[in-house]
Structure 1
Amino acid sequence: MQIETVTRPDHFKVPVTVGDYVLKSKLGEGSFSIVWKAEHKLSGQEVALKQVYPSRLNRQLRNCFDCELNFLSSVNHPNIVRLFDVFRAEGCIFLVLEFCAGGSLASYLQHRGRVQEQLVRGFMQQLGAAMEILNSHHIIHRDLKPENILLSVPEDDAVLKISDFGFSRYVHPSDYAETVCGTALYMAPEVLQFQRYDEKVDMWSLGAILFELLNGYPPFHAATEHQVV
């Protein structure tokens, strides 16, 4: 399977199709993956196509990626982004994910500022329902933040969906994790202080998100995790 390309006027070669999908625009990019808005060539279904570069994954990130695949392929819940398919092309692994037209909760907050309590209550109930599923599978997300929570539609009655499980990990109920990962402003104290931790760190992150929803800004202000500590 090959990625077809064309040369745009800016002289950069940009992938246009991959497998059965036409790439429309770039939604985001990290150190080892790119997320595209894409469309199925036959059905016209819009999806988010996550392009992962296995060569950029160290052992720990590879374990996280395997956890992401295993978890998303085993759940179908309205508050967790849906995984439809997985395929390989050009040395990359592509995850065909549910496309959420409302964008991220971070963008929602940026445009609307603080959110009314009644709406926040509904949002948090949805996130709580998603956390029940994670806990039942013994999964720690480890990077819960507004950027990783998506809205099904741009309106206030949107369905919230937890996404980006790239730092997720399975932890046995009697075991702990130790790796420091995530985003400083939403990290629990035990993570920042290099201590062992369990699934409760995700609840801390949700608490920080709750604060931000109600106030329009995060509870902490710092450029690095050292300043947070």
Structure 2
Amino acid sequence: MSQLYQIFPDEVLGSGQFGIVYGGVHRKTHRAVAIKVIDKLRFPTKQEAQLKNEVAILQNLSHAGVVNLERMFETPERIFVVMEKLKGDMLEMILSHQNGRLNERVTKFLITQVRLPMQIKPDRHQILVALKYLHSRNIVHCDLKPENVLLSSDNEFPQVKLCDFGFARIIGEKSFRRSVVGTPAYLAPEVLRNKGYNRSLDMWSVGVIIYVSLSGTFPFNEDEDINDQIQNAAFMYPPNPWKEISSDGRYLEPRILSYLISYYVGGASAGSKSYGHPHQPSLLFHDFRGKAYRWMRGRFCRFVKA
């Protein structure tokens, strides 16, 4: 490993219970990289399995919206995972903004691929575009949240890259999984009900990400059982900050966003095999498709033209 890459021990990019992420450089090309160094003696078997699952999946992916895994090295004492170096994550971006939340135009930009201002390259591959790529390869991320959405730059309109595929699963078009994985606040109702899940899990998580991005809070009452609120789609919309958000934005809450996104990124109809949505089977898809399109496309385009 040391023959190919140099680790900068003074440049700590992040740390966890079992390892530290350092800045580094490829010795031959001088390309900046991030190197996760994991102490195997402190690394539980379960977490090691998750890491190897992540590496196995990322080694077969190549997409602008997915973090690039360069190499993995293993010694008797340590595991080294070399990845492209990025500029933080979506959670940091949310917390650093005024009032601890993003405005609608930035949120829409991060979520979907949209027409951009002239000075920004038009080839951004955002969250939904990256998900469409993963799902086309039968991969479900299973742990989407702002911390797992990395940013390629620190400007207002960065390229996003999905990361942390430790919980990711390969699921066939007609298959469902039942094991509970992921972060509780972003789990879909069918996971908690143990009814099995497929790509719909990621779609639901994107809905929660949009809520968190726009409001700076979770859509749940922290004093009550979160699992019950998720299963009943009992989300809160307090006047502050939702009164400042457009009516179309307020309309597109997590319980229908997954249904919407299935159409938006894949052209899939309601109830399709690829993006089936079990939460609101009687909901008329076309009733909110127009609102969704206006919110995610039209209003941003008007901003661009202004």
TM-score range, shorter chain: 0.7 to 0.9
**Map 1:13-52 → 2, pairs under 5 A:** 20-24=5-9, 25-52=11-38
Distance (Å, rounded) in 2 between the aligned partners of 1:123 and 1:33: 29
**Structure 2 letter corresponding to 1:110:** L
Distance (Å, rounded) in 2 between the aligned partners of 1:130 and 1:87: 27
Correspondence for 2:45: 57
**Structure 2 letter corresponding to 1:21:** Q
Distance (Å, rounded) in 2 between the aligned partners of 1:193 and 1:35: 36
1:105 to 80, 90, 98: 90
Alpha carbons of structure 1 residues 151 and 223: separation in structure 2 relative to 1, 3 Å: farther
2:194 aligned with 1:194 = yes
**Contact 2:95-2:101 at 8 Å conserved across structures:** no
**Contact 2:7-2:35 at 8 Å conserved across structures:** no
Cα offsets for 1:124-154 (capped at 9, x unmatched): 1110110011101111111110111111111
- Determine helix, strand or coil for the equivalent of 2:67: coil
Correspondence for 1:172: 172
2:114 aligned with 1:115 = no
**Contact 2:8-2:23 at 8 Å conserved across structures:** yes
Distance (Å, rounded) in 1 between the aligned partners of 2:206 and 2:19: 25
Distance (Å, rounded) in 2 between the aligned partners of 1:85 and 1:61: 16
5+ long unaligned stretches in structure 2 = 113-125, 229-306
**Structure 1 letter corresponding to 2:45:** L
**Contact 1:141-1:167 at 8 Å conserved across structures:** yes
- Determine helix, strand or coil for the equivalent of 1:122: helix
Alpha carbons of structure 1 residues 169 and 29: separation in structure 2 relative to 1, 3 Å: farther
Distance (Å, rounded) in 1 between the aligned partners of 2:174 and 2:17: 32
Alpha carbons of structure 1 residues 145 and 26: separation in structure 2 relative to 1, 3 Å: same
Correspondence for 1:93: 79
State percent identity of aligned pairs: 32
More strand by share: 1
2:194 aligned with 1:209 = no
Q: Calculate the TM-score normalised by the size of structure 1.
A: 0.80
Task: Give the deviation of 1:111 after TM superposition.
Answer: 0.7
Alpha carbons of structure 1 residues 116 and 195: separation in structure 2 relative to 1, 3 Å: same
Task: Give the deviation of 1:26 after TM superposition.
Answer: 3.3
Distance (Å, rounded) in 2 between the aligned partners of 1:213 and 1:227: 19
Alpha carbons of structure 1 residues 162 and 21: separation in structure 2 relative to 1, 3 Å: same
**Contact 1:222-1:228 at 8 Å conserved across structures:** no
5+ long unaligned stretches in structure 1 = 2-16
**Structure 1 letter corresponding to 2:70:** F
More helix by share: 2
- When Rg is computed on C-alpha atoms for both structures, the one with the higher figure is 2
Residues paired across the two proteins, number: 210
- Determine helix, strand or coil for the equivalent of 1:86: strand
Cα offsets for 1:175-217 (capped at 9, x unmatched): 2212212111111112223332112101111000011122222
- Determine helix, strand or coil for the equivalent of 1:218: coil
Correspondence for 1:79: 65
Distance (Å, rounded) in 1 between the aligned partners of 2:170 and 2:84: 23
Alpha carbons of structure 1 residues 190 and 32: separation in structure 2 relative to 1, 3 Å: farther
Q: Calculate the TM-score normalised by the size of structure 2.
A: 0.61
Correspondence for 1:5: none
**Contact 1:220-1:228 at 8 Å conserved across structures:** no
- Comparing 43-52 with 193-202, greater Cα deviation is found at 43-52
**Contact 1:83-1:98 at 8 Å conserved across structures:** yes
The alignment yields a C-alpha RMSD, in angstroms, of 2.6
